[in-house]
Structure 1
Amino acid sequence: MRSKKAIWITAVTVVVAAAAAAAIYHFWPKPEPAPIIVPNLITVQKDTISVQIKGSGATKATEQTIVYAADQGNVNQVLGKLNMDVKKGQVLMTYKGTDVSKDMRQRTTTLQQQQSDLHDKQEQYKQLVMDGTSQTDIDSARLGIEKAKTDIASTESEIAQLQKDQIPHNPLVAPVSGTITKVSIVPGGAVSNGAEVFTIVDYHDLSATIQVDEMNIPKIHTGMKASVQLDALPDQTYTGRVSAIANEGSIKNGVSTFAVTIHLDRAPNAKAGMSAQATIFVEEKKNIPVLPLETVNQRDGKYFVQLQGKPDPQAPAGTSPVPVEKEVKVGIHNESLIEIKSGLKEGDQVIGPEADMFGDTGLSMDSSDAAMDTSSADTGTASDTDSSTSTDSSSSTDSSTSTDSTDSTNSNTSTDSTSSSDNSTSTDSTSTTSSTSNDSTSSTGGSSQ
């Protein structure tokens, strides 16, 4: 009887030991494979590089025109009003004719007197000649006649000028089309020749003035193409060309920027003062060999790339070949691509930023194996005066296991191990002195027989 009991206990012990060994093998952390550095090879390809310079600013009217008075006189009508849209050639102002009636009467009376005086002098001259008067008296009479004629001519000229003054000056017309933003005259007022009387702004002819960093200014020239987008009209893109570059920059927070003006070709719906984002197209090359900018290193004014070297037969297994440096000639570049002018050709490969990998597992160095991603979140231990101890442990991914075992060595021990997906762990164990049990049970799935 005792022999059968010993055999039974031995069998149970073997089963428990095997289960424990299997659990340890499954849950014991696997050793990480040695990292293998796989070169990131990048191929020289043909592409297009567009060099662009961007800046922000606001739109404004390209030009404002000041209209000057062409004649001196009095204003009759002011036809151009503030904020009024006018066309080129449209009448803005008319002059009054000068009131010369008083002067005209005076000059007319004077002329009549001068003409009568001339007639008398001529008659006197004839009489002196007929009377055989001395030559001196005759010459003096002749001079009197000439002076009378001169006075008459002067008076006639003054009368002619007065007649002209009665006619109003030609009306003042708009030299350009646009909107009147300033009016400096009033009806009935006097205006002098060359005085500023109107200001006209063409709000349909707009430009965008943006601020550009000083490092980019040497790359920009007038006539370069540009595109402009307005914050208020995000669905429209306007085209234009660089029309002006400021000769003096402004410094803010230690950074110097220069104003660059872009004249818009057409600006429907746009208004002066709108916030603008502009892109200036400095240079573009198509179908040229290029590499990502980060694959080319600069040193001492020269440019280099890294090529994959030949494997070293004496190096340990998994060791990457030592890279080989090669000098190249470069051309234009933007924020992502750089032109390769010589040293490499299309299809050649260079080493880019390295990627550390786990052999052929496809996991990066900082990734973790799912089988090793376990944690013990909670542990509870209870003891009482009857020497009863309870421990409940749980660790698994999608399975549950329960094992009850009882061994008799003048003690009773019960172990309950449960595994669930909530990553919680507890262990219950109870030991009672001087109790013996002949039954042992092992079950899977949380059931006990």
Structure 2
Amino acid sequence: MKKVFLIIIVIIVAVLSVFFIINTNRNTEENTAQNNIQNIFTTYTIENSEIGDYIEITGTVEADERNVLSEVSGKIIDLYVEKGQKVSEGDLLVKFEDLEYRIAYLNDLRNYELAINDSSRIKEIKELQLELSKRNLENTELKSPVNGTISEVYIGEDDFVPTNQKIISIVDTNSLRIESVVDEIDLSKVQVGMEALVEFDQLNVSIPAKITLINPVAVNSGGLTTIPIELEFSEDANKYGVIPGITGNVKLIILNAENEIVIPTNALNQDANGNYFVFLKTENEPKKINIEIGDKTDDKAIVKSGLNFGQTLIIYPDEEELQRLENKYNGSNMPFIPGQGASRNSPGGGNQ
């Protein structure tokens, strides 16, 4: 009797186990199908953005460096700047001992004044000598040729410096620019004067800019062909703390969309007459909306009428993706796409 009871218990446990496994597999299949349904389409919410479409590259801030050379020889008696100091154009940098140059100037001035009765040629020579001695005297004081930052000081007080020696280097902060490269496949999309936005995450700032140079010669490196470009800032980048050497994220604007409605081109559909329409997400079935588009790129399009900011679009898979799904499911058990038939151009939903 005990044997029979044990056998019955074993049979019951076995039946329950089989039922549990079958039910678990069914739930897994249902969840997988549901996930597939959710992955079949994506959504896009229309937001207000000044940039419709852009080419994204990385650029480096560069600036010209000006070297200040000694115009005369002599002893340095005063050094007014140090490395890292900011200077303005015309600021005094260095003072040479000028006694000999003052004497030379006064002598040449006297000789010129006494040459009133000399021949015109002699008088001209003395006038030139006076101009030269005056220039030498003025050059005993070296002034900054630009607004910038002292990047290097090569001399010190009491040093004797010969003519034409490098004294100081200054980074010209008025020459701040962005240098970058674009891929050859994007060459036809860029042009001099094109607007851009340079984002410096490290400074938490974005600065408008424009392309000023597209190099006429491409560069090939590591199998990649690129074209060097330069951009100038449309605002004073110094006030934002931009310095040479830092990098920024550059967006070359190929579709300007200030106060325009912009949607991705993969949300666009066309009917047999070539008219554009999209699918608007609603509480029930997606709604087909006829629209008029303006300028567009490969990825984005400006909508002239038919949509508003804040609306959400449903983006269905293209023909290639649908074919992939059909092959995956062998034409059966195809995940259901709300409001969508066999083609993204023949959906359900009402027309506007």
Please report the TM-score for the alignment, with normalisation by the length of structure 1.
Answer: 0.40
* Greater share of residues in helix: 2
Please report the TM-score for the alignment, with normalisation by the length of structure 2.
Answer: 0.50
Q: Higher Cα Rg: structure 1 or 2?
A: 1
Greater relative contact order structure (CA < 8 Å, 6+ sep): 2
